Structure 1
């Protein structure tokens, strides 16, 4: 897991907040610009209706009632925004999209309406006129120099919805940010809990081998047969105690800068193989560990961390061999195409399916009953993040085994 410094995390959060703010403001101003353009278009259309209606309303120009009817059916009835046409006295003569049917009163009754004392059926229409005039100034209908009426209009439904769009967008963005923040916080807490539990499990796993070995040597000391000399037993117990010290040091080193030295990798590989060979009987399996090393140049490595990665690969191979016997091969050689060395850890264990290969290096993924899925991800992090190399599964087939490949440059391999 990549951890950013506190200042970088704060800056990252600020960038996210500013980005969301810029998007929200941009959306708001664009929507307002669109609303203004729609209002201008509505005003222009209303003026055209006003001029046309003024001509159609006068007896001198309204050649027939048929033409007037066509005007109302084909033009007025297709208006999409609230509009009320009134005569010069302010009496409504036609309306559309105000929630009141035009059929509530006949044209003859409209012509006889007193604007000072309108009938009850038109009270809502007059109230709507007042409301529309508060939104937009009425447009006069002129015929020459004479005002023959007014057009009172309001905002269309689309404009009203667009006005609310920025508010809705801001609410959605705010909810998204809040949910995202809570989600990231929950994920971070879960990851931290998993890491703590996983590190505790891995610590117990790392300590298990040398402790079990020490208990075994204790039994050997108690055995009167004494198949090994006291000096040999003390030497091996010393190695196990050194391994215990190494385990504690490794966990202390997590997150600290690596300490690189020019080292012979084959020596470290052989030492790791020897350590496991002496302790294989405790697994209850007949497992053979063989080595095939070509002469390779020295490489800049952090010995303690590199050995930890190799041990995790070997331990993974041991766990993969589920039968009564098996074989693990550790080999090292040079790459002819570039200045690099290759290390392979091969076993004839259970192998992996395609899905298992894809998820093998994911933290937390494991096929073991009591595993925590940290060994392979930790090895990959050590090889790639610390040493600038590559760790991958070169081949694996169910029932035939797995081969892990480590590739490290002999020059410029440290990132």
Structure 2
């Protein structure tokens, strides 16, 4: 089911991307065609101005005398232009700042720019073949907008697609979180009834003439089961962190685990032989992380080998290393093992290490990572927490 859902989701993404690209391409082609037509119209308009100028009277200085032509060229359009004589002396201009007209170098650059956009149109005088005007003109603001508009559209479409994907992934992630939180709390609720019943049975067995050592071990398992129930109930809830002795918290998990591993597996721990170190943690959830790491190490050992749990610290951090002599992890999977659903086992959902990372990084603001692994020799996973000191 996961594979089909993934394919369906991927196919939907491809369809959305194709539709977005198609819309952008159609918009680009359509606006380019509109721009081509508008450019042709503007060239035709300028040609009409030149023709009108040739037909109206002018004084010897070449100043436009006809008020209709002057009005059309100066106020009836948004096409920037410069009219010069044959010596490139400016006769008239429109939509050109004075700082360009009054500066020879800037004026020359502006004329060159207009020439790169459109061929200048000469205006011949009837009374003289030696004197003429040149109309240099560029693109109107509307034409420029049409050229840039499709690219803006493409950016907007891409932004909407990106935001849509982010919103979709966020809502899907939130939905999955709600499902898992609900499942965890329901599991805690369902475990509540049998654990309460088992507590009564433990008290009954204590009053009977049987091996009380076995009853105490059963009680330890029941206590551990109640811890697990408490952990599930804490998922998705506010999780207060309190200063705790890391040596003792980790030690409790190690001691419980040590009596329940195969005979050919050795579990070493240095935490009770070194000076205590302290960090802000939620003990119930943090014990869960340590147990997950030891269980993964035990699976990697396949019935024989060593698990070494070691605590170390510096001025700012406390480190908990869980090292095993198991089959090791390829370096390409060092980060992937913490992803939800990733597992190399034939059984299980691949959620243990993912949950551990979430507890360490999101709840405790720490870090968890594979710091060393070699195929056939073993793996070391390290938890790093911010160290605190007793007041």
Using structure 1 for the length normalisation, give the TM-score.
0.51
Structure 1 pair 288/355, CA: closer, same or farther in 2 (3 Å)?
Answer: same
Deviates more, 1:177-186 or 1:201-210: 201-210
Paired position in structure 2 for 1:270: 251
Question: In structure 1, what is the equivalent of residue 342 of structure 2?
Answer: 365
**Corresponding residue for residue 292 of structure 1:** 270
Q: CA deviation at 1:249?
A: 2.9
Residue 309 of structure 2 corresponds to 330
Task: Describe the superposition over 1:62-98 as per-residue Cα deviations: whole angstroms up to 9, x where unpaired.
Answer: xxxxxxxxxxxxxxxxxxxxxxxxxxxxxxxxxxxxx
| Pair 357,298 (structure 1): closer, same or farther in 2 beyond 3 Å | same
Task: Judge conservation of contact 1:296–1:341 (CA < 8 Å) in 2.
Answer: no
Aligned with residue 370 of structure 2, among 393, 396, 404: 393
| Native 8 Å contact 2:243 2:388 kept in 1 | no
Instruction: Count the aligned residue pairs.
Output: 274
* Contact in 1 for aligned 2:124/2:132 (Cα 8 Å): yes
User: Are the counterparts in 2 of residues 260 and 301 from structure 1 also a CA contact under 8 Å?
Assistant: yes
Q: 2 CA distance for matches of 1:239 and 1:263?
A: 20
Structure 2 stretches of 5 or more lacking a match? 1-35, 56-120
Q: Cα distance, 1:198 vs. partner? A: 5.6
- Shift in CA distance, 357/348, structure 1 to aligned 2, threshold 3 Å: same
Q: What is the CA deviation profile of residues 336-365 of structure 1, one whole-angstrom value per residue up to 9, with x for unaligned ones?
A: xx3433211111222111110132333443
1:41-120 pair list within 5 angstroms: none
Matching residue of 2:242? 261
User: Given the alignment of the two structures, is residue 141 of structure 1 paired with residue 127 of structure 2, yes or no?
Assistant: no
Going from structure 1 to structure 2, the CA distance change for 1:260 and 1:196 (only over 3 Å counts) comes to closer
Give the C-alpha shift of residue 144 in structure 1: 3.7
Measured against aligned partners, the alpha-carbon deviations of 1:95-153 in whole angstroms (never above 9, x if no partner) come to: xxxxxxxxxxxxxxxxxxxxxxxxxxxxxxxxxxxxxxxxxxx974214479x999999
| 5+ long unaligned stretches in structure 1 | 1-34, 55-137
Give the alignment partner of residue 311 of structure 1, picking from 276, 281, 291: 291
Q: Does the CA-based 8 Å contact 2:369-2:382 persist in structure 1?
A: yes
Q: 1:204 to 1:331 in 2, by over 3 A?
A: farther
- CA–CA separation in structure 2 for the residues paired with 1:197 and 1:203: 10
1:14-46 CA-to-partner distances (Å, cap 9, x unmatched) read xxxxxxxxxxxxxxxxxxxxx9xx99x989x98
CA deviation digits over 1:209-244, x for unaligned, max 9?
9999x99xx9xx8xxx96654642552254134224
* 3-state SS in 1 of match to 2:270: strand
Task: Give the Cα separation in 1 of the matches to 2:190 and 2:387.
Answer: 34
Partner of 2:231: 247
Partner of 2:220: 236
- How many Å apart are 1:204 and its aligned residue? 10
The CA deviation at 1:320 is 2.4
Residues 14-53 of structure 1: matches in 2 within 5 Å? none
- Judged with a 3 Å threshold, the aligned counterparts in structure 2 of structure 1 residues 324 and 262 are, in CA distance, closer, same or farther, namely closer
Shift of 1:275: 2.5
Please give the alpha-carbon distance, in whole angstroms, between the structure 2 residues aligned to 1:154 and 1:163: 17
For the aligned residues, what is the CA RMSD?
Answer: 5.2
2:380 is aligned to: 403
CA positional deviation for 1:402: 0.8
Indicate the structure (1 or 2) with the bigger Cα radius of gyration. Answer: 1
Distance 1:226 1:327, change over 3 A: farther
Give the superposition deviation at 1:300.
Answer: 2.6
Seen in structure 2, the aligned counterparts of structure 1 residues 172 and 242 have a Cα distance that, compared at 3 Å, is: same
Partner SS, residue 330 of structure 1: strand
The alignment status of 1:183 with 2:161, answered yes or no, reads no
Separation of aligned partners in 1, 2:377 and 2:188: 27
Counterpart Cα distance in 2 of 1:404 and 1:209: 31
